[in-house]
Amino acid sequence: MKASVSKSELSGTVRAPASKSYTIRGLACAALAQGDSEVVSPLISDDTEAALNVLRAIGVKITREVSAENEERWRVTGGSFREPETELFCGDSAATLRFMAAIASLVPGECRLTAGPSLAKRPVGPLVAALRQLGVDCSAQGGLPPLVVKGGGLEGGLTELPGDISSQFVSALLLVAPLAGGEVTIRLTTAPESKPYLLMTLDSLKSFGIKVAATPDLREFKAAPQRYKPARYTVEGDWSSASYFLALGALSGPVSVTNLNPESLQGDRALLGFLREMGAQIEIDKSTITVRKSRLNAIRADLADVIDLLPTVAVLAAVAEGTSEFSGIERARIKESNRVAAVRKGLERMGVVVREEKNRLLVTGATPKGASIESYNDHRIAMAFGVLGTVAGETMINEAECVSKTFPDFWGVLGSIGGEVKQSG
């Protein structure tokens, strides 16, 4: 599918979809708890559907309900796993694959986890090595999916892995560490990046009665043997998905985004600080954030802990006065696409001067012109350039359907506040 975005005058209010990261964490914790839990207001998207399907395949009972107030709820009966009859296809959901690789160690028999074309290129070797240190029989040829995990549980003890490749490796270990035969120590051999996601995992564990000791720098974690307790787990709004509409507000607003927790642990809440530094007008009223059209200035920002914001801040920088510098971006090369290259190529097609380095991207603000943009089947690239198209005009986003990974209604919501969007083929 292609999405054509023209210059638009935007104004209105949108509701941030539920957090994908919290939804999948809530599902995983509920699956590990003995008894019935509820996941309230979850995100419905390709990634969360992948998590649902994989958990059901290992014996987790999940019932979807809608309350009288039109509130989506998933009732999850966890704590009892069975060997799957088929491969566990995780789609392109990295969180599902990595979390399930650890959970599969608790499943009787053998689990084979497979991935979609994008995820199949992303590394899992460090997680496999860390699980082996805890006595898990698992393998991944060449450090890439598919993975084969043989159940039998985890031993206690020490496991070590790098912290600067993916926080999801660490989160996966944190999910299963409390169910090991003895105390587990998880030690990171390099400083962790994307620290907010580790805090989100610890927060989710706490909601289900799990206590994990962590050092202040999140370089080491200790979990004693304990049991997950069933819980009612409410999913908050997603700051990553909201970032595109907050950016739209700064470019051509006012735009208000509801269903956001201003005190959220989600790292992408940092966008508010970036917008303020760029000169954007922002108003916060409880769970609603309003951003008004503003003259933007270049900024310097380290994105190591908020790497998913790279496409969003890059398109803002494309219209800001001066040259913005974004560092800590190297891991963006191993996401759904090589996002550093995808951002650079897209901006250059729109007439913006970009300089790409190994761990730094410099974007010089200009007057972007409409162009045909390759999304590389990456939802964040598609949405970010959809945002820029509203000021550049006549921008065609290829493989625009990829937004279904985290924000299936993105193009419709953009149209609802005045975005000139046409979808075809």
Question: Among 22, 30, 84, 75, which residue's Cα sits nearest to residue 54?
Answer: 84
Q: Quick one: 47 and 11 in the same domain?
A: no
Query: What are the CA-CA distances from residue 297 to residues 110, 302, 315, 354, 359 (Å)?
Result: 55, 16, 13, 16, 22
328: left (phi over 0), alpha (psi -120 to 50) or beta: left
pLDDT score recorded for residue 101 = 98
- Which of 203, 234, 265 is the C-terminal boundary of a domain? 234
Residue 289's H or E segment, with its range, is: strand 288-292
Same domain, 27 and 168: yes
Structure token pair of residue 208: 């289900």
Instruction: Supply the pLDDT for residue 67.
Output: 79
Whether residue 416 sits in one domain with residue 320 = yes
Which is nearest to 338 in space by CA: 376, 390, 282, 305?
376
Same domain, 299 and 408: yes
Neighbours of 142 (CB within 10 A): 8
What's the pTM value of the predicted model, to 2 decimals?
Answer: 0.96
What is the C-alpha to C-alpha distance for residues 171 and 44, in angstroms, rounded to an integer? 22
Give the pLDDT of residue 71: 85
CA dist list (Å): 328 to 45, 122, 124, 167, 195: 28, 19, 21, 15, 13
Give me the CATH number covering residue 279: 3.65.10.10
- Same-domain pairing of 113 and 220: yes
Sign of the dihedral defined by the CA atoms of residues 118, 6, 343, 314, in that order: negative
Alpha-carbon distance of 400 to 382, in angstroms, equals 6
Give me the catalytic one of 46, 92, 238, 308. Answer: 308
- The per-residue pLDDT for 139 is 97
Is 308 marked active-site?
yes
Q: Quick count: other Cβ atoms within 10 Å of Cβ 4?
A: 18
What DSSP assignment string belongs to 44-77? -SHHHHHHHHHHHHTT-EEEEEE-TT--EEEEEE
CA atoms of 6 and 314, how far apart (whole Å): 19
Do 276 and 189 share a structural domain?
no
Q: Name the β-bridge partners of 172.
A: none
Residue 263 backbone phi and psi in degrees, to 5: -105, 15
Range of the domain at 216: 20-234
**Distance in angstroms (rounded) separating the CA atoms of residues 179 and 225:** 6
Question: Are 12 and 25 in a shared domain?
Answer: no
Do residues 319 and 388 both lie within one domain? yes
Largest separation between any pair of C-alpha atoms in the chain: 60
Tell me, yes or no, whether 91 and 28 share the same domain: yes
Give the Cα separation of 167 and 416 in Å (integer): 35
Cα–Cα distance measured from residue 344 to residue 322, given in angstroms and rounded to the nearest whole number: 17
- Number of domains within the chain: 2
On the 0-12 / 13-18 / 19+ scale of CB atoms within 10 A, 292 is middle
Query: In which residue are the tokens 């054509």 written?
Result: 4
Q: Are residues 306 and 201 in the same domain?
A: no
pLDDT in tens, the chain (425 residues): 999 999 999 999 999 999 999 999 999 999 999 999 999 999 999 999 999 999 999 999 999 998 777 889 999 999 999 999 999 999 999 999 999 999 999 999 999 999 999 999 999 999 999 999 999 999 999 999 999 999 989 999 999 999 999 999 999 999 999 999 999 999 999 999 899 999 999 999 999 999 999 999 999 999 999 999 999 999 999 999 999 999 999 999 899 999 999 999 999 999 999 999 999 999 999 999 999 999 999 999 999 999 999 999 999 999 999 999 999 999 999 999 999 999 999 999 999 999 999 999 999 999 999 999 999 999 999 999 999 999 999 999 999 999 999 999 999 999 999 999 999 97
Regarding whether 226 and 262 lie in a shared domain, the answer is no
Tokens of 405: 């990974």
218 and 312 belong to one structural domain: no
